[in-house]
Structure formats: C-alpha cells, structure tokens
Amino acid sequence: MDSEPIVRFVGIGKTYDGVLRVVEALDLDIERGEFLTLLGPSGSGKTTTLMLLAGFETPTAGEILLEGKPLSHVPPYQRNIGMVFQNYALFPHMTIAENIAFPLSVRGVPASDIATRVERALGMVQLGGLGKRRPAQLSGGQQQRVAVARALVFEPKLILMDEPLGALDKQLREQMQLEIRQLHQRLGVTMVYVTHDQAEALTLSDRIAVFHRGRIEQLDTPERMYEYPKNAFVARFIGENNRLDGTLEAVADGRCAIRIDAGDAPIDGTLVEPVPDGGAVTVSLRPERVQIRAAGHTIDGHPGCRLAGSLQEVIYLGDHVRARVALAGKGEFMVKRPISEAHTLPHIGAAVEVFWTPEHCRAFAQET
C-alpha cells in the first residue's frame, strides 16, 4: 500500500434536521488497495458514510479528499468511483453486455473500445459468453457478478459496495464473499464495503470500521477486532460473547478482580479501558476461550478464573460442540469446544466449572 491514503474523511459531519447527527466528527483514512468494511447496526452511520463518499449525500461539515483533491463540488459521475448496490440496479430491458457497457457509454468511450472492455469485465467475474442474456435469465449470484463487472468496467480508482449480498441465501452469500475477496486480491483495486453482517466483515476485510451512533468505535484488522475489542459495544457486536456485569474491585499490572455477586469470590480478567475502583464493568468471554470440567476435578491455573454451574445441554454442530451451562444465580454461559473434546464433556445435569485465562476475560466500562 502507498503511504498516502487514497481517501481521507476530515471532520465529516452529516445531519438531516440540524439536530440529530447521523455522522459526527468523522476522521478516516482509506489506504490504497485495501478492502475496508464499514460495519454496524442499522442507523449507525455506515451507509451514510458510503453515500457521502459516492456523492449521493453532501456533508454538513468537513471535507472528503480523493487522492488529495476535495470532492465537495465534484458530482458522482465525475468521481471515478464504481458502485454496487444491494438490489444490483441492473436495467431489466438491457442485455448483460449492455448493462456493463452503460458506464462506458455515458463517459463517451469510443464504441470500438466498449466491446473489448465489456468482454474483459465479464471474464473478471467469470461470466464470459453470457453477454447476450438479460438479467432475469441469470441467478441472483450471477446478477451480483454483473453488478460488480459494471462497477469495474471503467477502471475506477475505488469501488463501493452497499450490502451487495443481502438478498442472497446463506450458501450463495458465503460463496460470493470468497469470490469478491479473490477478485479484490487479483485486481488490487480499493474496495469499501458496507454490511451489518459480522461474519461477512471478518471474512472479507483487511480492516473493519465499527460504527455506532455516527462514530467509529474501533478501526482494526479482523483478528484484532475479534480478539481485542476496545469497548463493550464492539465486544458485543463482533462475534459471540458470554457477558457478565459486575463491579471492579482491584487493578494491578493490567489484571483486575471483578465481583459479580456480593458474597462470592471475585473473578480475574484483563481491564481494557479505564474504570474507577468500584465502577460498573461488563465482562466478556468468547465461548471458544472457555473450558469446562466436572466439578471437583483439578484445574491448573488461577483460582479466580472459574465459575460453578451445571451442564444443561450439548449441541452437536459438526466440527464443534456447544455446551450450555447454567451458572448459579448468574445466567448462562455458552462453551464452544472442538469435536475432538466432545467425549470429555460431563453428562447433562452434572455439576461443572467453567474456566479461562485472565487475558481472555476482558472487562469494559458498562455501556450507558
């Protein structure tokens, strides 16, 4: 990647009514050639951010720079940005070749060049030979590829995708995720992708920006986002978590003691963000980081890294099993273990202990 970002959002704000800010004080650099995913729940500002970059929305404050040049007064069709929409936005009365040729025609590309470039774009998305068909004659996955080819055909600096796989079934969606990822790796074009699907973001991205209430809560690689969330919102939104609320009792060298219930011994974890002594915290533990043993068995490790309960259910899921544990007065824990450990699990109804290492038990300030 070049040292100079291809896109810079500088102090971007967006409001529709002058009161509620859909995007607030956004600073974001997008590196040349990267796959960046904007992830968040509905209303978090991710799609508005994409539309601002595309030119379909206008910032209330701040400036967006594309290769160092302000975009404020540049209309969408002059930004040299490809766009793939959720509904594909294909023209039903046109053939596939005509759909893909459309961006070239409106840009005044000579007719002698259009056919060559359309055929090349069809080859990029593995649809060679289908140019004479109409959209209705293609599957959902093939239509999605046509939309991608149309975005690629005029060789844009940047491709934006607004939940393009949302209308596909699970199996086809997963297949298309891999195809988009491979296409990005092959072409090296910068892609900015909007989704609310966490698994999709983890699969596709070089980096993920998690949006919440118009702000980016964390911008990081998929691995760091999953393993080291910076606050309770990110931990809750990315992947599956066991969560417990408690009170911070002590902190030393990054480790902390959290009391879940009065009268019980505190549990150990890692404090991620500043919280005053006695402050309210939320503890987060990934199910695959939790282990389970029958009560009374010797467990190596720190005694503060365990909780007692009873095994309620074991669910077989092919490559792993999920154990549901009822904790005494503290709700439930899910434990995810590889299939090779299924035979070691206690019987249903048995008294058990769940345990972990402190670095995998992460404590955050409770959300307000």
Q: Is residue 343 part of a domain?
A: yes
Position 347 scores a pLDDT of: 92
* Residues 184, 250 share a domain: no
Q: Is residue 1 part of a domain?
A: no
In the DSSP assignment, the letter for residue 166 is T
Q: Identify the domain containing residue 342 by its residue range.
A: 241-365
Size of the chain, expressed as the number of residues it contains: 368
Position 107 scores a pLDDT of: 86
Please give the structure tokens belonging to residue 246. Answer: 């408690």
- Domain holding 293: CATH number? 2.40.50.100
* Residues 106, 86 share a domain: yes
Q: Is residue 94 part of a domain?
A: yes
SS3 265: coil
SS3 of 199-263: the string is HHHHHHCCEEEEEECCEEEEEECHHHHHHCCCCHHHHHHCCCCEEEEEEEEEEECCEEEEECCCC
* Residues 150, 274 share a domain: no
CB neighbour list of residue 286: distance below 8 Å, 6 or more residues apart = 239, 240, 241, 242, 336, 360
> How many folded domains does the chain comprise?
2
* Residues 184, 210 share a domain: yes
Q: Which amino acid is at 35?
A: F
* Residues 144, 102 share a domain: yes
Choose among 253, 245, 220: nearest CA to 234: 220
* Residues 349, 212 share a domain: no
* Residues 248, 211 share a domain: no
* Residues 191, 270 share a domain: no
Q: pLDDT in tens for each of the 368 residues of the chain?
A: 447 899 999 999 999 987 888 999 999 999 999 999 999 999 999 999 999 999 999 999 999 999 999 998 899 888 989 998 877 788 999 999 999 999 898 888 888 899 999 998 888 888 888 899 999 999 888 888 898 889 888 888 899 999 888 777 888 888 888 888 988 898 889 999 999 999 999 999 999 999 999 999 999 999 999 999 999 999 989 988 999 999 999 998 878 999 987 667 889 999 998 888 889 999 999 999 999 999 877 666 667 788 999 999 999 999 999 999 999 878 899 999 999 988 889 999 999 999 999 999 999 998 87
* Residues 128, 20 share a domain: yes
* Residues 171, 90 share a domain: yes
Q: Is residue 39 part of a domain?
A: yes
Give yes or no for a contact between 354 and 292, defined as CB atoms under 8 angstroms apart. yes
End-of-domain residue from the set 233, 249, 275? 233
Instruction: Give dist(CA 287, CA 301) in Å, integer.
Output: 18
- Domain holding 148: CATH number? 3.40.50.300
